[in-house]
Structure 1
Amino acid sequence: MHLKNKTILITGGSSGIGLEAAKRFLALGNKVIITGRNRSKLEAAKRQCPALTTIQSDAANPQDAIALFEKVVNLGGIDILYNNAGVGVGPLNLGIPSEKHLQGAIYEMEVNYFGVIRLNNLFMDMLKSRNETAIINTTSILSIVPSVLEATYSASKTALSFYTKSLRSFRIYK
């Protein structure tokens, strides 16, 4: 795949792996759109890399996903969807189940797994209509070697890993 003159959408692109990927894609001559929940982080990323297009969006929010899709359509579409947004709510308090832990696990699944599926479903036809497209999903080493302290995070990333492998093996996206 040629990584030049592409338009790339990176969720969770305002810091960490997402921002570093955005910088590298920009350096290769691509147009890069990043998303994130935190407006101030998006503004800081834009100050570092003025060529970035930023859109505030929460990967766990279905309405935000639809609004993001519409904004991207108005910007001309994308060639690469890079699902990088991810959250971990913290370690499990072993032996003490709680409603707070369950709510954290639900949020991790919403962002780390269901949010990816939601965006893939929204952008699939767009990606299939273009040449040389891709979907990139960020998983974690914890999808291979789970952590007892990060059990629900590990489970969310394992689900994403299996989903990604299924997409790749069936090549339904292209």
Structure 2
Amino acid sequence: MYTIGHSTRSASELIDVLRAASVTRVVDIRSIPRSRTNPQFGIEVLPETLAGAGLDYVHLPALGGLRTNVEIAEEGTNAGWVRRSFRNYADYARTPSFRDGLHALLHMASGQTCAIMCAEAVWWRCHRRIVTDHVLAHGMAVVHLFTRTKSAPALLTPFAVVDAQAGVSYPVPERGLPVCR
């Protein structure tokens, strides 16, 4: 599986990067699949553009970011995240809605080469990083795409804890603090 942020690219640049990685399906994990500044990535246009390039498109709102009204997980479960937006999303990732979305993503990825897509250019500033941790916890490899020739294999967030029953959590690290959290 791959991850990509559309950022300010043109649609053809995005397609070139996806094709270079042999991606066949784009799974849009934006809560709001629109962009005023980059209308080529709006849900009204993007599916048809991708289809014209031979790529499938699926919007999977269950994995969308921007989670503010989230039931807080047990105290300390995700307290390793300093940024409230990441902590909110990590708490959301413990809900049945997220699990259903994740299982749908894993099912799609078992039959096609998928790339999860959001707007943010870099994965470490995006909820894709938490989705990626959950995919990695299920034993599937993930690669972050940057350009046609630049990518990076995904690694579990350094302070993430994977438990077979409870899933992924992000407690406060016992030693040292990660650079970006």
Q: TM-score, normalised by structure 2?
A: 0.39
Q: TM-score, normalised by structure 1?
A: 0.40
Quick one: higher RCO (CA 8 Å, sep 6+), 1 or 2? 2
Query: If each structure's helix is expressed as a fraction of its own residues, which one has the higher value?
Result: 1
